[in-house]
Structure 1
Amino acid sequence: MVMKNVGHMNAGDDETSYANNSALQVLSLPLSLSLSLLVFCSLSTDSLAILLQKGVILKALPVLDDTLRDMFAAAESCFPKIWKMVDLGCSSGPNSLFVISHILDTVEQLCRKKNFIVSNNSPEFEVFLNDLPDNDFNNLFKLISGQVFGKDKKRRCFLYGLPGSFYGRLFPSNTLHFAYSSYSLHWLSQIPKGLDRSNKENIYMARTSPREVFEAYAKQYQRDFSTFLRLRGEEMKAGGRMVLTFVGRSVEDPSCKHYSAHYTLLSQTLLDMVAEGLVKMDDLYSFNVPIYMPCVEEVKTVIQIEGSFNLEKLHVFPVRWDAQDNIINYENDLVFDKHRSGKLVANCVRAFMEPMLAAHFGSSIVDELFERYAEKMGEHLCEEKYSSYYTIVISLSRKSK
């Protein structure tokens, strides 16, 4: 399975769309408990997911802001005539536009501090929104508001959709100033080569997976991330910067159950459906998820060996699976609702997994699959209420050419 064919999020803005279910990317808004309880009691599951957007992004903003300040501290006495940036893996939800607006606001403020803006003339920006060709760019552009163009709507900002894989060339050489990516780089370019049916009923790396499965995933990640860095190095100007946020591991052992539980529960759900004749065993044996969550040492090693960038900053922080867990005190068991939590997490997973599952197993099983998955997820969260995954944020600078 090649990602460019099915590696897009659910389109549109309905209940199972990515736009309405990107809470796994955006969990930890600093809301007071009283406001949180009020919101929790009055909003639907999907509205709650929308409200919780930007949380993980907000946690990563200090790295983003420091990177922009460092970039301008090293800048010469003038601002480029056109400042070009790209969001790599923008998807179709509002998160991309929130970050772009923040970046442009910050750049304008830094320009003023360094007297790069003359006669109140705003600098010109070219902003590229990149994702795979099947991404719902139409929905993304519908979400664009005046905020991207500044409060007075006088910002000279030109936005473009840029369909294509970031594992291929996207820009001419030496033209890009800044690149940003949030929750995209853990996606591989394809299912690792050589898996065939060796992973059996597992759809990802699991404790019962043979050693060659772990090796195949690790090698594919190393190839893909190295390719990504090499291509961005060709496209980016010397001194250009990248801020990349992606799902990772806090430990070196990839078989640790905490990092595969999402997919273990999903494979168990599929296995149940195999037992009932709803899914073919051969289809399950031939399905693997093209995702890899690297540990910090793997990230550092690829950056060092590839050689195009300096690693300026690296931060790791945990994020709870359940979006509600960030605003509700679960020590009070009366508040926790496993059915609501299970559905919320299942909808988030469905938003990015459905296209692949439908292409492989057929769309007719998807509703039933995620209803069962939500039940299993609710039970899991009931037993392990503090399940977390880890987010890695890195800041890179392009070496002199």
Structure 2
Amino acid sequence: MNTVSESIVKDMSLAHNGHLKIDWVKEHMPVLNRIRERFEKEQPFAGLKVAISLHLEAKTAYLAKVVQAGGAEVTITGSNPLSTQDDICAALVEDGIRVFAKYNPDPAEYKEHLIKTLETRPDLIIDDGGDLITILHSERRDLLSQVRGGAEETTTGILRLKALEKEGKLEFPMVAVNDAFCKYLFDNRYGTGQSVWDGINRTTNLVVAGKTVVVAGYGWCGKGVAMRAKGLGAKVIVTEIDPIKAVEAYMDGFEVMPMLEAAKHGDYFVTVTGNRDIISKEHFAVMKDGAILSNAGHFDVEVNKVDLNAMSTSSRIVRKDIEEFVLTDGRKVYLLAEGRLVNLAAGDGHPAEIMDMTFALQAVSLAYVNEQYKNIGKKVLNVPFELDQMVAQYKLEALNIGIDKLTDEQKSYLESWVE
């Protein structure tokens, strides 16, 4: 395979810088390094093709190299037009991985890259948001027959998979990596919490302390965003549709109110719901002059850009990744990163130590699907608990942390109904 001639990347001369970035994250991903050692010995993907669609930056690149080390022929594309890093793409091509991705492609190019990735006829898939799976189950069903199964990274992607499963249309097993304990407890909470504010702070260069932050959605990602906003000194308001999560946010010390009321108070807005039209025309109408809008859900539909454009007399880019909209009454609101994922489109995504655990789960889940696909059935399944615990144990060992173990007597006590 000549990956240089077969790939679509912006500029191969950028590869050196990409290699430096990948080398850096490798040094901070001990769990994935351990999985790589195992894969190199066991070759779980020998002779197989793996297609990956993820945010194409250094940590993802190292996951692709780990899968490659397990014997796979790997093809990778981006899962978001603004999160792809061109130097990373070039470095992967030099490392023998086929790449179809560029930073900020137009919609037609982005779709073309996804389709070209699938046209390699993969046996296994790692997806982020469900784009590859959706194309396979709709317009390119001719590419389905060879797929054994795969793994999905995000809440949004799992919702799409479960909709397919419910309708009886899912054609192969998919592991819901997002629902593993080591994913949502750490990646969604601590990873999203830190990386969202990394993206906002480096983009705006404005203080957070003393400001009011409105967080839409109090799932694990929303909890992380709210927690870090509080740590930065902000007053935090949470909006929710789930009464249980709303009570949780209240008991965690945050104000809770509907978005229409919160819109009057917010200096910063972060949507983290996975749904559309979370902030729209009725909310723009009551916002403060200078409000800053951002999204940390998967797609750029949480902030309604159609409404925002319709209500504006003008717009302009005032700083990299900041678009200013002047409303008809003269108020200005600012949208970060085109309403796309602010932590990746305007930052580098989650810290390497966090993605170490998540991508270790992706790697071992893919190996599990490959071993068991004939027995699993066409369904969405959870990461086996023993794999979740294994990744956590590897993480503890990398941190030189020991924990207690139950004695035989303690195990017997817990399994007995008498004292």
- Interval of TM-score (by shorter of Structure 1 and Structure 2): 0.3 to 0.5
TM-score by length of 2: 0.33
Higher relative contact order, chain-length normalized (CA < 8 Å, sep 6+): 1
